[in-house]
Structure 1
Amino acid sequence: MTSLGDPDRSFVASTALQQRLHGLVPGGAHTYARGADQYPEGMAPVIARGEGAHVYDVDGNRYVEYGMGLRSVTLGHAHPPVVEAVVEAARTGVSFSRPSVYELRAAESFLEQVPGADMVKFAKNGSDVTTAAVRLARAATGRDLVALCRTQPFFSTDDWFIGTTEMDAGIPASQRDLTVAFDYDDLGSVERLLERHPGRVACVLLEAATGTAEPSPGFLEGLRALADRDGFVLVFDEIITGMRWSRHGAQGVYGVTPDLSTWGKALGNGFAVSALAGRRELMELGGLRTDAARTFLLSTTHGPETTGLAAQLAVAEAYRERDVVGVMERQGRRLADGANAAAESLGIAGSFAVVGRPSCQVFVTRDDLGRPSQEFRTLFLQEMLLRGVLGQSFVISAAHTDEDVDRTVEAVGEALTVYAKALAAGTCAGLLRGRPVAPALRRFAAPRRIPGPATG
């Protein structure tokens, strides 16, 4: 088995399986962010198993992993208490024709965790619960427009959001026209939006914070005041921030309570469970205790599956027993400090930096002219993979040990030595093995290759 520090890694088996996947699965993966086009060419590992902060690919390579299941794993892969809870639930039956006791237990546990919410509805993914929040807001207000934050990358796979991206093929203009946008941390842009569309905005939807953007004092409070004054529904997308900012979500950190919030990812430590939570008078529009026209809120066969809810209960217990967020923040700071010191020592701090909230960090890659660069990003990913670190980001988990972080910082220093050579040359040509990575949400699939040296 290849050790973490071996630069002569083979990806032969992974590449062969990836080609088979391309023949069977559109895009070769079930999530665009997991696609082979997001990794250096011929270096997209196919994972065989994971444990804690490490994963192993089909070639026998071992990696310290970051990103952790697209931010969904905070306790570490195959965390024993979660796995045991899921296995126990599976042995009692997974899906029934009536609610199981897991639904009650999970609802009580979740609502204790999110004190600003009165009711919760569980599902399997973030897109479904976020779209349910939009539908509920439209039903409650009688309005049609959805206002979302234009600088935040993803809210749902459904038409109301995907129609705002470059991958809008197949989505009618009538759907695209019902979504409008504002700028993060700019209350004036929201106010101007409301002025342009008086009485039409059903909800304002955003992440209260992101890995790289914290709200200025008064911004979230201002949104809450605008919602109370104008009548729109304020929705916080806590799919990422919930369980990474705190067990109570970003709303618990910033002290602003939305009308609705959507949760997922780390809620089950990678097991499929998501949640829509909110005020009773809104949530009951999809229930049986209302005289209003009922809203088709969420009705899913697999939403109350016992295994997902058992995972949620086990994760909640882990967060009560241990300061999981505190561990991630401490280890994330150690990683950022070490990586940024390495860049500083090489004189390239203006071209490479680890930024963001310590529990949810990303790395910034720029070229020799200071421009954001996919080519230089790919070069960094390539060199980190060769040194046993896998990750499109530095999103960490509570399973990352001091040894994992120290090894990662060492790999960063070595990778940035190569990065610095490319900066000095003004090109990655000759150092990058294949085409650069590309944005996951783009209009055309064709990869772009990095240009080679000019020939006469």
Structure 2
Amino acid sequence: MTEPFLPVSTARQARLHELVPGGAHTYARGSDQYPDGMAPVLTHGEGARVWDVDGREYVEYGMGLRSVTLGHAYAPVVDAVAAAIGRGTSFSRPTELELTAAERFLELVPTADMVKFAKNGSDTTTAAVRLARAATGRHKVAISDQPFFSVDDWFIGTTDMAAGTDRLARPLTVRFAYNDLDSLEQALAGDDVACVFLEAATGSAEPAPGFLDGVRAACDRHGTLMVLDEMITGFRWSAHGAQHVYGVRPDLSCWGKAMGNGFAVSALAGRREVMELGGLNTDADRVFLLSTTHGAESAGLAAFLAVAEAYTSGDPVGLMERAGRDLAAGVRAAAEAAGVGEHVTVSGRPSCLVFGTRDPEGRPSQAWRTLFLQELIRRGVLGQSFVTSAAHTEADVAQTVAAVAAACEVYRRALDTGSVDGFLAGRPVAPALRRTAAPRRL
């Protein structure tokens, strides 16, 4: 048997599979998302670069599943966290840090009146659903056909990976098509939907003119709450979120990822009359709202405040978008030069780019995606996307474009034969959310 490209990482990954279901703590980080024998186990990162246990260095994209916009080990955030945890991390009463963080967050997100902090995105999105149900007396949730909203049953029960979810709850979640107001109207026709859940935009889709205003108007007509998922767009589109960029005011919004530059912190924000259903200034039955031991521990809140300062004093969004524009231009030029411009593509917002890989017939292909990933990893570029950070330098982009150019030459030769056979070492990657472990069963 041929030794894997990353022998130490491969051995460590095998051990992880023995101890951790799936071999990682997030399915998107799983080894089945990378070519066989080429899933690096990392040791550390700095800026836009990471290192693995095999001693290899990579320019990284995706940046912690889009949670790192300022760069790995960004000193002002690390220093702020170190200072905060030196004074204790968790107490039996609120801290002054919680007040400061809440005031700062609401300054950045003026569409909201109140905020509550947590540790992960799914806690906040599920809390939004609970608030909406209490506020409207309804139980259905309408979700846009976008990739991911929560690990909880109301969303996961609608995916291919629904084993173990409550079958009786599945009919309570209905879907509508993004950028399609007619499909939204169909979902809301019975006036029995508690909330409409969507991302204002994604890396691959911008809202059509009038779409978000139409969603807002439809929610108002049908007595439904509008909830925006700002997990990815918050601090990547703008420090004020996509709602600021597109000029729409949701009833509730959910934040996380980049608001801590990789530290665990998330937030649920919204209108006072809705949020207070989980507080003490209401005569209604109380909502059990984000009562978490670690929701306001000092490390996450200190990280958020340092991130907020970086966005106030500098222009991280501008930097990551500039790197993204340069990268997209370079990738397109390299693909065209190799004659694969219709097969290797890059698209999306400059700060949130995705690459596409197509087979000889022009169809999106996991096998051809794997070949592209394989050739990038061989040349020191790691990423399931081309999502940039403010730490990506001209040198990082130049190295990436050179790696893409070489990868496209291999891609061209494979296209000439009509198959990845003989070029791809191992099995193709597979969708992270799928019904069975096959086709990447251990």
Name the TM-score, length of structure 1 as normaliser. 0.95
CA distance in 2, matches of 1:77, 1:65: 10
Say if 2:124 is the partner of 1:132.
Answer: no
Q: How does 1:363-442 map to 2 (within 5 A)?
A: 363-442=355-434
CA contact (8 A) 2:32 2:440 kept: no
Aligned to 1:100, which of 91, 95, 100?
95
Q: How does 1:12-411 map to 2 (within 5 A)?
A: 12-150=7-145, 152-195=146-189, 198-411=190-403
Secondary structure of 2:195's partner?
A: strand
* Cα gap change, 1:105 to 1:419, in 2 (>3 Å): same
Give the AA of the match of 2:158.
T
CA distance in 2, matches of 1:58, 1:312: 30
Secondary structure of 2:269's partner?
A: strand
Please list every run of 5 or more consecutive structure 2 residues that lacks an aligned counterpart in the other structure: none
Secondary structure of 2:147's partner?
A: coil
1:23-80, CA deviations, whole angstroms, 9 ceiling, x for partnerless residues?
0000000000000000000010000000000000001000000000000000000000
Give the AA of the match of 2:202.
T
Give the AA of the match of 2:301.
L
CA contact (8 A) 2:4 2:10 kept: no
Give how far 1:87 is off. Answer: 0.5
1:101-146, CA deviations, whole angstroms, 9 ceiling, x for partnerless residues?
1100110010000010000000000000000001100000000100
CA distance in 2, matches of 1:400, 1:350: 26
Give how far 1:448 is off. Answer: 5.4
Give how far 1:199 is off. Answer: 2.1
CA contact (8 A) 1:350 1:370 kept: yes
Give the AA of the match of 1:220.
L
CA distance in 2, matches of 1:154, 1:176: 16
CA distance in 2, matches of 1:194, 1:25: 41
Secondary structure of 2:50's partner?
A: strand
1:128-165, CA deviations, whole angstroms, 9 ceiling, x for partnerless residues?
00000011000000001000012x11000000000000
Task: Give me the identity figure in percent.
Answer: 69
Give how far 1:290 is off. Answer: 0.5
Give the AA of the match of 1:181.
R
Give how far 1:310 is off. Answer: 0.2
CA contact (8 A) 1:9 1:61 kept: no
CA contact (8 A) 2:226 2:250 kept: yes
Give how far 1:446 is off. Answer: 2.0
CA distance in 2, matches of 1:100, 1:292: 28
Give how far 1:9 is off. Answer: 9.4
Secondary structure of 1:229's partner?
A: helix
CA distance in 1, matches of 2:343, 2:391: 29
CA distance in 1, matches of 2:137, 2:161: 29
Secondary structure of 1:327's partner?
A: helix
Give how far 1:343 is off. Answer: 1.0
1:198-241, CA deviations, whole angstroms, 9 ceiling, x for partnerless residues?
12100000000000100011000011111111110000000000
CA distance in 2, matches of 1:319, 1:202: 34
CA contact (8 A) 2:50 2:57 kept: yes
Please list every run of 5 or more consecutive structure 1 residues that lacks an aligned counterpart in the other structure: 1-7, 450-456
Q: Which is worse superposed, 9-18 or 94-103?
A: 9-18
CA distance in 2, matches of 1:207, 1:194: 18
CA distance in 2, matches of 1:81, 1:448: 41
Instruction: Indicate the RMSD between aligned Cα atoms, in angstroms.
Output: 1.1
CA distance in 1, matches of 2:338, 2:56: 29
* Cα gap change, 1:59 to 1:448, in 2 (>3 Å): closer
Match of 1:453 in 2: none
CA contact (8 A) 1:10 1:59 kept: no
Aligned structure 1 segments of 4 or more residues deviating by more than 6 angstroms: none
Give how far 1:346 is off. Answer: 1.9
Give the AA of the match of 2:215.
L
CA distance in 1, matches of 2:334, 2:5: 27
Give the AA of the match of 2:125.
T
Give how far 1:172 is off. Answer: 2.3
CA contact (8 A) 2:4 2:37 kept: no
